[in-house]
Structure 1
Amino acid sequence: MSKSRMWWASIAGAAVVVIGVISAGTYVQVQYSGLQYGEPYRLPAGSGQQLVVPAAAPGSEATSDPDLPEALDALAAQHAGALARFGGHVTDVSTGETVWDHSADQALRPASSTKVLTAAAAILSLGPDDRIETQVVAGAEPGTVVIRAAGDVGLTKESIADLAEQLGGSGQEIDRVLVDTSAWLGETLLPGWDAADIDAGFIAPMEPAMLYGARLGATTGDVPRSHTPAKDVAAALAQAVGASSSGTARADDAPADAQVLARTSSDTLVQRLHTMMLHSDNIMAEAIGREIATSRGKAPTAEGATAATLEILSQHGFDTSGVSIHDNSGLSPENRITPKLLDAIIARAATERELRDLLGALPVAGGEGTLQNRYVKAAGRGFVRAKTGTLTETSALVGTVTGENNHIYTFAFMSNGAEITGQRAGVDALASALREAGAED
């Protein structure tokens, strides 16, 4: 199995500038600190000049490009062979109109665009500021401490150092560090997943504590993952506190009311969603899915997570009929989602504040994450923000773009049953056509 892989372009461009300044660091500040600047340009009062044309606000009376549906039809026909079994849906959120519907009710294999459902359900159920707390408690035996893993798969060396420092001030003599993984239940590798993807860097056994997403030898990227992620956390903390042994806890290794000796918190949900969407992080998606399950009182399993995800979306007015998901990351080839549902979620995020954080997590075409090397010469470069999805004979693209007519469009394009390169070319062309909407000939 192959890997599954602001607001608008003006903000995306600003983000690139900020990143460049930060990367230059102190050198730039020192090198250019003595420069003198002239007075900034001031627009003369009453000049009538408009330097920035805003995108048309939702609910505006402006009409969309009347030629756009025909242009999308022509592109879909042009790429029909490469797109094979294809579905697409486009909404002009500036007017509320459905611009284009191409078999959008058929449920297709979504690959990592499944993460759009996960992100929406997480925001709706957990809230943007949600964090996961990992505690270390006194064990039942003297000299033993137990890490109560709670689902933080983004622990870092700084997290471990902080826990070790707190333990050092607790007055406890520590000889053994154990990790309790009972917060999650069920299989650690789900049906449809390929165990080879652990060493390929796309997934790890789903255990509720990991260092850097169980990556080995690196902190980011698709590098080989550990087969024993929770044990690795216990071993890291044991080394930090000078304990002689580590391992997995049994049920009686720490009482329910054990004294909490140290604690650390994860990034906020918004930060974790950004990590998940930008680089299509499967482990983060599955971890967030189990957190969703727990928030709804369901079993902290893949089944509980997927059921809770669809339940939340349905209760918030989304049509989930015909949709079936078996994981929250999109690695499962058995997942089926309609383009109509995916577009509806992005359209809601573009028009209502509650889901707005989802848009900020989407990669910018030609600029970052899974879209960094796409749209090199296409009109959508810098304007399309979208979640990708890639599995064998599967390609999806779900996101938003501002057209040249300053209308805001959301879209979901999904292709099954063809070679990936051709599929990507087709969906990228469709998204770029939305950017060109209203362009003068």
Structure 2
Amino acid sequence: MFQKLTVFGLVGLLTILPHFPAAGETRGASGSKKSSATQKASSSQAKKVRRGQSTKTKPSSTPKQQTQARAPELTTVSVESLPALAAQVIQGLERVSTWGIMVVDVTSGQPLVEHRAHDSFIPASNRKLFTGALALDQLGADFTYRTYLYHTGQIEPDGTLRGNLIIRPQGDPTFSNRLVREAQVPTDWIFRDWVEKVRAANIRSVAGELIVDCSEWDLNDLRPKGWSQRILQDTYAPRTSPLTLNENLLQMIAKPGSPGSPAIIEFAPPAEGYPILNRTVTGGKRSISVRLTPDERVEVTGSIPTDSKPIPLPEIPCDNPTLYAAAVFRSHLHRAGIPVNGNLRVETRKGALERPTTSNVLAVYISPPMAEIVRTMMKHSNNHFAEQIYVSISAVKRGRGGYSQTRVLEQDFLRRCGLPVSELRAEDGSGLSRLNNVSPASVCSLLVAMHRHPAAKEFFDSLAVGGLDGTLRGRMRNETTLARVHAKTGYIANVVCLSGYADTKSGRRFAFSFLVNNVKTSPDSIKNAQDRLCELLCRVE
């Protein structure tokens, strides 16, 4: 019998009932609180909410004109007056930005406001609306990723495994402690648990290899197009991979070696044997840095004083996340006294490895349900979650994970939703690509389709709520808009977008899309205008 463990309620590990496979099972926590989408915010509650802080942006090298949106202070707004009032809000801003606007009644499908509604715009993180909708449609709100650890060969009486250990991943983005932080577990808690499962199976050494089965992935199709070079060193743009850890970010620590020799570079968590370019020297002033080279290798350069304390290095996107994650697991095995004598490698050939069965599975990590994963991605605009979700859809549905295969599934889905596919270009799942293009009309068509979708509630609840949570916590906190706007923000250089739903006091719901490109003024000026437009929608009677 193998133990089956789960994190439940973010407080600890509890035993759960067995199911296939009969092996150690670790389940991700459903850590998020219930959505506040259904909360009613009264006038008195709205007044008690403290004022949020606007997002600060770095000053430009050249002065930018601050243009404020202005519109009449109104108690109510009629549908007939809405287009003119919306035009008044953006009138001054159109000199320093390009606006696309679409507003639709979700019940009737009637367009209420159209301004360049069929023009193409870069959507930034509004792209995540499409990724979330696709995941809920293709995989379902209750879908869970399953990452298996299993073995080949026999376990001898002395504890020697005469075979290999194999990890079979599905692209699960939750291999970290993001969704279980209240349980105060380390980012590699799943691998630590797996070591105990291996020990419980009476394995004391592995004669063979540690293999990651990537046969259901196209490893040459895991790089999105259109990501600018300047963001590739940034933690918000990690690589996509079949197996993940710590949201595919590397954490390293530099320690002094002997004088004149390279510094000692350690990984946190340990990943013994993982290759990096160590071009440091012990001695001299403290000056040490880390980067990804143009050929995408991790390079550490500089010097460290001989008497220096350990220096934590800045986090950086991992160059080979699958290999790194497996190296961390192998290090934990070695430190637990379970050596792996063979190589660490990735297998891409279909049919080359045995499949997991009830008799050979040692452990399985089961993620939180897709509804919760999508909610984390949307509310907090998590790029890692978005990219992993996107490429994993085709791995699960087609047995060939990658951007190209998922794009085919997305186009089929959008056609079913009645969207003009010709108005869209999708190059990633998060919206970091500047090659993504979409029209406000297409965004609203998606929103209307998801309003009628079987997963409508999960999609709606995944959006940030104005004045309450996620990326909208500090916006729209007045009495009119508080808790009445559920939307996705989007921001990259010169792009500020907002799309979602706005509810009136009478219960009428509008889908809206405000896509703004070529921004040559303060992003806050654009956000203020978008918030004012949402206020107009909430005042409609």
TM-score (norm 2): 0.64
Alpha-carbon distance between aligned partners in 1 of 2:142 and 2:37, rounded to the nearest angstrom:
25
- State yes or no: 1:79 paired with 2:107: no
Alignment equivalent of 2:319, drawn from 224, 227, 246: 227
Per the TM alignment, residue 360 of structure 1 is displaced from its structure 2 partner at its CA by 0.5
Aligned to 2:449, what secondary structure does the other structure show?
Answer: helix
Greater Rg over alpha carbons, structure: 2
Percent of aligned pairs with the same residue?
A: 23
Alpha-carbon distance between aligned partners in 2 of 1:8 and 1:238, rounded to the nearest angstrom:
42
1:154 alignment partner in structure 2: 174
Aligned to 1:335, what secondary structure does the other structure show?
Answer: coil
Alpha-carbon distance between aligned partners in 2 of 1:92 and 1:255, rounded to the nearest angstrom:
53
Question: Structure 1 pair 101/154, CA: closer, same or farther in 2 (3 Å)?
Answer: same
Question: Structure 1 pair 208/309, CA: closer, same or farther in 2 (3 Å)?
Answer: same
Alpha-carbon distance between aligned partners in 2 of 1:131 and 1:7, rounded to the nearest angstrom:
19
Question: Structure 1 pair 344/356, CA: closer, same or farther in 2 (3 Å)?
Answer: farther
Alpha-carbon distance between aligned partners in 1 of 2:400 and 2:382, rounded to the nearest angstrom:
23
Does the 8 A contact of 2:466 with 2:476 survive in 1?
A: yes
2:50 alignment partner in structure 1: none
- State yes or no: 1:425 paired with 2:528: yes
Alpha-carbon distance between aligned partners in 2 of 1:298 and 1:159, rounded to the nearest angstrom:
25
Does the 8 A contact of 1:293 with 1:308 survive in 2?
A: yes
In the TM superposition, 1:252-291 aligns within 5 A as 255-257=353-355, 259-291=360-392
Per the TM alignment, residue 378 of structure 1 is displaced from its structure 2 partner at its CA by 8.2
2:429 alignment partner in structure 1: 328
Alpha-carbon distance between aligned partners in 2 of 1:154 and 1:163, rounded to the nearest angstrom:
16
Q: Deviations over 1:48-76 (max 9, x none)?
A: xxxxxxxxxxxxxxx96332222112213
Alpha-carbon distance between aligned partners in 1 of 2:517 and 2:39, rounded to the nearest angstrom:
33
In the TM superposition, 1:335-346 aligns within 5 A as 335-346=436-447
Paired residue type of 1:150: Q
Alpha-carbon distance between aligned partners in 2 of 1:422 and 1:174, rounded to the nearest angstrom:
62
Paired residue type of 1:338: S
Paired residue type of 1:343: C
Paired residue type of 2:426: I
1:51 alignment partner in structure 2: none
Question: Structure 1 pair 194/298, CA: closer, same or farther in 2 (3 Å)?
Answer: farther
- State yes or no: 1:106 paired with 2:134: no
1:165 alignment partner in structure 2: 196
Question: Structure 1 pair 249/353, CA: closer, same or farther in 2 (3 Å)?
Answer: closer
Does the 8 A contact of 1:365 with 1:383 survive in 2?
A: yes
Per the TM alignment, residue 359 of structure 1 is displaced from its structure 2 partner at its CA by 0.7
Does the 8 A contact of 1:346 with 1:359 survive in 2?
A: no
In the TM superposition, 1:86-125 aligns within 5 A as 86-125=99-138
Does the 8 A contact of 1:120 with 1:355 survive in 2?
A: no
Moved more, 405-414 or 376-385: 376-385
Alpha-carbon distance between aligned partners in 2 of 1:306 and 1:224, rounded to the nearest angstrom:
28
Question: Structure 1 pair 183/382, CA: closer, same or farther in 2 (3 Å)?
Answer: same
Q: Deviations over 1:335-362 (max 9, x none)?
A: 1111111112222333444333111000
Per the TM alignment, residue 325 of structure 1 is displaced from its structure 2 partner at its CA by 0.9
Paired residue type of 2:533: L
TM-score (norm 1): 0.77
Alpha-carbon distance between aligned partners in 1 of 2:455 and 2:477, rounded to the nearest angstrom:
33
1:24 alignment partner in structure 2: none
Per the TM alignment, residue 201 of structure 1 is displaced from its structure 2 partner at its CA by 1.3
Does the 8 A contact of 1:112 with 1:390 survive in 2?
A: yes
- What RMSD in Å do the two structures reach over aligned CA positions? 3.1
Alpha-carbon distance between aligned partners in 2 of 1:378 and 1:247, rounded to the nearest angstrom:
58
Moved more, 238-247 or 278-287: 238-247
Per the TM alignment, residue 268 of structure 1 is displaced from its structure 2 partner at its CA by 1.0
Alpha-carbon distance between aligned partners in 1 of 2:362 and 2:35, rounded to the nearest angstrom:
42
Does the 8 A contact of 1:139 with 1:254 survive in 2?
A: no
Alpha-carbon distance between aligned partners in 2 of 1:254 and 1:124, rounded to the nearest angstrom:
32
Does the 8 A contact of 1:177 with 1:235 survive in 2?
A: no
Gapped runs of 5+ residues in structure 1? 1-5, 18-62
1:203 alignment partner in structure 2: 237
Does the 8 A contact of 1:91 with 1:99 survive in 2?
A: yes
Alpha-carbon distance between aligned partners in 1 of 2:107 and 2:398, rounded to the nearest angstrom:
38
Alpha-carbon distance between aligned partners in 2 of 1:200 and 1:128, rounded to the nearest angstrom:
31
